[in-house]
Structure 1
């Protein structure tokens, strides 16, 4: 049995169990709040968040932090290929983001070999302190309009997440921060306060789409890694949307299309009305304009008609 086939069977078994559990829940039961933020009940738990604090950071860990639908899986694929090229073996990875694991997962991760490739959607304040003190963190940003559209399609196609009857209803919750994992704006404002701490590299989804090799070089420099130009080219080839979509069809089965929908810049124009676009513009101007992360997003370039 190939590695992909083994991974697919393991994943399908886990996912089937999650779907079965979610099918027995009411919409209200599908979500819960922890420290004021909404999370999906089937994927997260208070016990898991508390157990996350027991995960011991290592200096050679690679921790990817993203708000949902900002390029999480793409970033994991890129870093997986970089670390594989460096170490001649795939890094240790958790199943999904850290907060999706069961409490006992963290003890298992503590015993697993380096390098470890980890990812999470939690806020700066909910990130285990040991990582904030010891580990270099890669923060991936994406403009709020494309994030919202991708998030809407994702939550409506994923059986374990709450669904929305319309785009209008979803956007209202997104703007007000009432979606799972909380406010897009609060999330980035909190990280912005620490962007100069010295252990955080922020990159944008848009820059990665425009010139991935340049961003791979930034990542390597940040982590003190060295790749040849040939290796960088291979990382790029194995991180294209087409390559990943085919890979996910094998490893994720029917859920592959849920995770790999379009991966485009500018798809927000397919759903936003002019009034909604202006409302998002006002939110960005109020919360993120003038911040370092806000400037990095090149909002005027990617979020205007």
Structure 2
């Protein structure tokens, strides 16, 4: 189930290098009233994203930053790989690295959406965007969306450490400074509570499944079964166990240098509930 992550690692490495030469006030830009990291996103990419044509069999992960996105991405990537192996019987002249495309819709260059047309179905895509900022084709074509949510306290604490560990995001000298931004629209990717409010409008749609970080952590095996059933992907007992084992925090942290490069230790920091850091 291993796939190339070279493009992802190259993207992050270049973004981190570029961010190290920038002032704090240059790290973010505003698009439609929401802040985004300058070295990972761009207005040109957002404009190109508007015309992205989603497929009805695409699989999408929607999650605010630090809700467990990398964790669910591991599970969904493995499930998609299982599905592709069972539904495709073809010999491709295109290798995995050429087919690889970083799944986050809002990251990268504006030409990536043309490259994504070459990816086999089902495609796995992910996004931190509010639903009103996603391409209309995602909802028009009823893409299956897994909506991941997490306790706001743990999201905030994890995001605080994450921001202070990456050059691409503004760092904070104190928790109070961060918390003020987190509770307002001055946070990168916007306010988490507005994000939840916007997505709540779609929670009852048949193509949307909501899952919490907490329930998945409580019983990962059951969570994987529920996700696979929602996506219509059948698993043998061996395949199920492999997906579950590969998505353990220990396994993902051990493999983080390969999957996430230089930021592996930052992405997979603790893998548990966090305590708010006081001044």
TM-score, normalised relative to structure 2: 0.89
Question: Out of 1, 5, 11, which is 1:7 matched to?
Answer: 5
Structure 2 segments unaligned to the other structure (5+ residues): 87-95
Partners of 1:55 and 1:110 within 8 A in 2: no
2:122 is equivalent to residue 124 of structure 1: no
Displacement after TM superposition at 1:177 (Å): 3.1
Question: Out of 170, 174, 199, which is 1:191 matched to?
Answer: 199
Displacement after TM superposition at 1:152 (Å): 0.6
Q: 1:153 corresponds to which residue?
A: 161
Question: Out of 89, 97, 111, which is 1:104 matched to?
Answer: 111
Question: Out of 83, 88, 95, which is 2:80 matched to?
Answer: 83
Higher fraction of helix: 1
Q: Deviations over 1:16-41 (max 9, x none)?
A: 32223212211111111111111111
Q: Deviations over 1:52-108 (max 9, x none)?
A: 122211121111000000011111100111122233388x65325110121000110
Q: Which moved more, 1:11-20 or 1:41-50?
A: 11-20
Q: 1:280 corresponds to which residue?
A: none
Indicate the RMSD between aligned Cα atoms, in angstroms. Answer: 2.1
Question: Out of 25, 34, 38, which is 1:37 matched to?
Answer: 34
Question: Out of 248, 253, 268, which is 1:240 matched to?
Answer: 248
- State the aligned residue count: 267
Q: Deviations over 1:152-195 (max 9, x none)?
A: 11111011111111111101110123110000000000110121
Q: 1:271 corresponds to which residue?
A: 277
Displacement after TM superposition at 1:148 (Å): 0.3
TM-score, normalised relative to structure 1: 0.82
Partners of 1:93 and 1:118 within 8 A in 2: no
Rounded Cα–Cα distance in structure 2 between residues aligned with 1:195 and 1:22: 36
Within-5 A mapping of 1:63-78: 63-78=60-75
Q: 2:184 corresponds to which residue?
A: 176
Q: 1:276 corresponds to which residue?
A: none
Partners of 1:62 and 1:136 within 8 A in 2: yes
Displacement after TM superposition at 1:258 (Å): 1.1
Question: Out of 54, 72, 93, which is 1:57 matched to?
Answer: 54
Q: 1:141 corresponds to which residue?
A: 149
Within-5 A mapping of 1:192-211: 192-211=200-219
Partners of 1:94 and 1:118 within 8 A in 2: no
Larger RCO, structure (CA 8 Å, separation 6 or more): 2
Q: Which moved more, 1:50-59 or 1:16-25?
A: 16-25
Displacement after TM superposition at 1:210 (Å): 0.4
Rounded Cα–Cα distance in structure 2 between residues aligned with 1:58 and 1:96: 14
Structure 1 segments unaligned to the other structure (5+ residues): 274-305
Change over 3 Å in CA distance of 1:141–1:93 after alignment to 2: farther
